[in-house]
Amino acid sequence: MANHKSTKKKIILNELRRKRNKYKVQNCKSAIKKLKIMTDKTEAVKYFNKIVSMLDRLSLKHIYHKNKTARIKSSLNKMVNAM
């Protein structure tokens, strides 16, 4: 267990950040699943743009690696274009 006041605070803040990051990732994953079951191309394109924005924010905050973000965006773009 932590002995210093600053270390205790750091543990609490790390837990808060972990929960916040987990929520953002889960929110993005569920949005991707929703996009994958869409059938209308015009709706899918609009939703794809929102997902790209979400992924870029996750990448910017270093929650996802930039290459992982690029890989996900690429595969989703191929899927939407094939509709």
13: exposed, middle or buried (Cβ count in 10 Å: 0-12, 13-18, 19+): exposed
Report the percentage of the chain scoring pLDDT > 70.
99
pLDDT at 3: 83
Full domain range(s) for residue 42? 5-81
Q: How many domains does the chain fold into?
A: 1
* Averaged confidence pLDDT in the chain: 93
Contacts of 66 (CB under 8 A, 6+ apart): 59
pLDDT at 2: 77
| Chain segment 42-69, per-residue pLDDT in tens | 899 999 999 999 999 999 999 999 999 9
Q: Which pLDDT band holds residue 40 (cuts at 50, 70, 90)?
A: confident
> CATH number for the domain including 63?
1.20.58.110
